[in-house]
Amino acid sequence: MQQIRKAACIGAGVIGAGWVARLLYNGIDVAVCDPDPQARRKVEAVCANADRAMKRLTTAPALDPGSLTITRTINDAVQDSGLVVEAVPERLDIKRSVYAKIEAAASSDTLIASSTSGILPSELQADMRHPHRLLVAHPFNPVYLLPLVELVGGKETSPDTIERAREFYTSIGMRPLHIKKEIEAFVADRFLEAVWREALWLVKDGIASTEEIDDAIRFGFGLRWAQMGLFETYRIAGGEAGMEHFLEQFGPCLKWPWTKLMDVPELDDELVALIAGQSDAQSGKYSIRDLERIRDDNLVAIIRALKETGWGAGKTLGDYERKLLESGTARSREHGISSLPLTLERLVPGDLESPMAEAFCLQCFADAREVFLRDSGVGQENGSLAGHFAAAETRIRHVEEISAAESVSVTTHLVSVNSEAVRLFHRLERQQGGLLATCEHLLVHVDAATGATSQPAPHVLDKLNAIAKTHARHSRPHAADQPEG
């Protein structure tokens, strides 16, 4: 597939702006067209959130971010774009008129991806000149963090369009799910809509408040659904007898009056006021901006936790990071030949208790070491090597207390190299200045085959010696920086 270097986004609401943030982060230039005079400010606010979240999510080297332009017309936006994202209101007439304007300016093989939550792609593409390149690519808020994107083709959509889209969305860290038959609301939103309708009844009938409903979700099955879905969860519930047993056991419930669905309450002023009032009581103590950050921090923590277990959205993150690492276009983190390499930038999590602060520190140093080895071409990712470097000793000195939510960075000094060991010295500093902690790593080389300590290959030593030579221009770590002998 030809790489997409420029995209257009028509419509910059919550979903459009979320797409823009994800595209820019992946090094793609984006032109945005939205009639709102505040469009730039709003998009930039979402991008700031995304940047904050991505710094917490991953240590993989970020690409050079794409550039953002705001255009007056759709025509200006779609020029030279390999992808046009449509994120305008959910009205078929509006969407069709937007496609007409897009087609007037875009080349015939430009992908056109609608963010619609439920309108059939066959209806969207009905009046198009080149309908084969239209598909639905339905994301989930926040678009810059949640991996799922549902891909749905219409009657005229070509298989090649689906395939190009699948490759593209994977390349920007997403988990495309191709829905093979088109139906209204596709798959995920059918579930959301079912739950939403049921929830409206529960509030209207005074069974539960908005807060109680949220608690019924997030303290129970919501935790399960962050990692396994409905069927895998129920397969386990069936126990050793498995899925058939589960179906036999729970089949009869289908006859019971356990939902109110399809029968939908009128969303009249009274119900709207009831819901809005309960929601204020529940969440009104936070601004929307606060809630966004709480949500993002929680999602980052959950996805990182799943990366540790190698499962679901965490596995998607791991695959994406490997791709970034392999990418030849990854921005060098070298600050110029005269500086020590900046091996890490990170935000300290909020709500940091003392033993957590210490673990955060060590994680920074361990990650910085991996980044340094990787960027030096001798890390574990550099596949052909006959072994890897592992820490034999780690000495951390805490200089100042780390505060929650501050920005920190690590520089790494390659102090010495010989056939026995490699000695690194890291400094963790506030980005606004101020040494927080130092770490000395004594690394030994471990043979891939035997798992025993071994000598690194000569070309590995050569590479490291060359780096040590440039680092020698910097003063060796001060005695004050070093742990007492």
User: Which region among 326-334, 397-405, 422-430, 454-462 touches a copy of itself (by CB under 8 A)?
Assistant: 397-405
Strand, helix or coil at 338? coil
Residues between 204 and 233 with contacts to a copy of itself, criterion CB under 8 A: 205-208, 210-233
By CB under 8 A, name the one of 13, 61, 377, 477 that touches a copy of itself: 13
Q: What is the DSSP letter of 117?
A: S
Q: Tell me how far apart the alpha carbons of residues 238 and 299 are, in angstroms, rounded to a whole number.
A: 30
Q: Which of 322, 411, 323, 408 is nearest to 368 (CA)?
A: 411
Buried b (16+ CB within 10 A) or exposed e, 265-304: eeeeeeeeebbeebeeebbeeeeeeeebbeebbebbebbe
Q: Tell me how far apart the alpha carbons of residues 439 and 429 are, in angstroms, rounded to a whole number.
A: 12
Tokens of residue 47, six digits? 């991008």
Q: Tell me how far apart the alpha carbons of residues 115 and 132 are, in angstroms, rounded to a whole number.
A: 17
Q: Is the CB of 306 or the CB of 468 nearer to a copy of itself? A: 306
Q: How far is the CB of 341 from a copy of itself (least distance, A)?
A: 17
Task: Tell me if 395 contacts a copy of itself by CB under 8 A.
Answer: yes
Count CB neighbours of 3 within 10 A.
11
Task: Tell me if 94 contacts a copy of itself by CB under 8 A.
Answer: no
CB 333 within 8 A of CB 371: yes
User: Which region among 143-151, 160-168, 339-347, 468-476 touches a copy of itself (by CB under 8 A)?
Assistant: 143-151
Residues between 166 and 185 with contacts to a copy of itself, criterion CB under 8 A: 175, 177, 179-181, 183-185
Tokens of residue 397, six digits? 């000195």
Q: Is the CB of 65 or the CB of 238 nearer to a copy of itself? A: 238
Task: Tell me if 44 contacts a copy of itself by CB under 8 A.
Answer: no
Q: How far is the CB of 306 from a copy of itself (least distance, A)?
A: 6
Task: Tell me if 148 contacts a copy of itself by CB under 8 A.
Answer: yes
Q: Tell me how far apart the alpha carbons of residues 421 and 46 are, in angstroms, rounded to a whole number.
A: 46
Residue 445's H or E segment, with its range, is strand 435-447
User: Which region among 3-11, 94-102, 144-152, 463-471 touches a copy of itself (by CB under 8 A)?
Assistant: 144-152
Q: Tell me how far apart the alpha carbons of residues 412 and 438 are, in angstroms, rounded to a whole number.
A: 10
Residues between 353 and 382 with contacts to a copy of itself, criterion CB under 8 A: 354-356, 358-359, 362-363, 366-367, 369-370, 380
Measure Cα distances from 64 to 61, 81, 268 in Å.
Answer: 9, 18, 49
By CB under 8 A, name the one of 63, 126, 162, 275 that touches a copy of itself: 275
Q: How many helices (H) and strands (E) does the chain have?
A: 16, 13
Q: How far is the CB of 249 from a copy of itself (least distance, A)?
A: 8
By CB under 8 A, name the one of 37, 336, 338, 351 that touches a copy of itself: 351
Give the CA angle between residues 48, 404, 291 to the nearest 5°: 50
Q: Is the CB of 272 or the CB of 466 nearer to a copy of itself? A: 272
By CB under 8 A, name the one of 302, 325, 435, 457 that touches a copy of itself: 302
Task: Tell me if 297 contacts a copy of itself by CB under 8 A.
Answer: yes
Q: How far is the CB of 321 from a copy of itself (least distance, A)?
A: 11
Task: Tell me if 386 contacts a copy of itself by CB under 8 A.
Answer: no
Task: Tell me if 331 contacts a copy of itself by CB under 8 A.
Answer: no
Q: Is the CB of 106 or the CB of 436 nearer to a copy of itself? A: 436
Residues between 308 and 327 with contacts to a copy of itself, criterion CB under 8 A: 308-313, 316
Q: How far is the CB of 184 from a copy of itself (least distance, A)?
A: 6
Which residues are within 8 A (CB) of 122 and not within 5 positions of it... i.e. 6 or more apart? 154, 155, 156, 182
Q: Tell me how far apart the alpha carbons of residues 369 and 253 are, in angstroms, rounded to a whole number.
A: 55
Question: Which residue has 């495309």 as its token pair?
Answer: 176
Spell out, one character per residue from 428 to 457, where the chain touches a copy of itself: x when CB under 8 A holds, - when not: -----------------------x------
By CB under 8 A, name the one of 390, 435, 453, 477 that touches a copy of itself: 390
Q: How far is the CB of 233 from a copy of itself (least distance, A)?
A: 8
Tokens of residue 243, six digits? 């899925």
By CB under 8 A, name the one of 73, 141, 339, 418 that touches a copy of itself: 141
Burial (0-12, 13-18, 19+ Cβ within 10 Å), 243: middle
Q: Is the CB of 93 or the CB of 240 nearer to a copy of itself? A: 240
Tokens of residue 353, six digits? 């208790």
